Structure 1
């Protein structure tokens, strides 16, 4: 997996160096938790620019795995 795109509140972010299932599990656990949780992501492409998105019930998040061939 080259990277993982995260769609959150209509905006695209990315995560690299992690497994899609690992990220999905982190999101699932955060949504089921009574305490909102932050997920570290990257804004844009190229140079890393950190952003933290808040995960909690009712917030729509999509996880898209991007292969090296795409």
Structure 2
């Protein structure tokens, strides 16, 4: 994957340099633990601008792998 888009709270974030299944497992583990968890990522695309989103049960989040060939 070139990058992973994360849709959270109506906004788009991104993660690069990681595998989509790894990120999904991190989210699943965090939510399954039942404790709030901060996931670090990038705001939008392009120049890195660090952001943290709070993961907890009941919060809507989408993980979209972006293939560079598409």
**TM-score where L is the length of structure 2:** 0.95
Quote how far apart the aligned CAs of 1:69 are. 1.3
Quote how far apart the aligned CAs of 1:50 are. 0.3
Q: CA RMSD in A?
A: 0.7
Structure 1: gaps of 5 or more residues: none
Structure 2: gaps of 5 or more residues: none
Give the length in aligned residue pairs.
70
* Rounded Cα–Cα distance in structure 2 between residues aligned with 1:37 and 1:7: 16
Matched, 1:20 2:20: yes
Runs of 4+ with >2 A deviation:
none
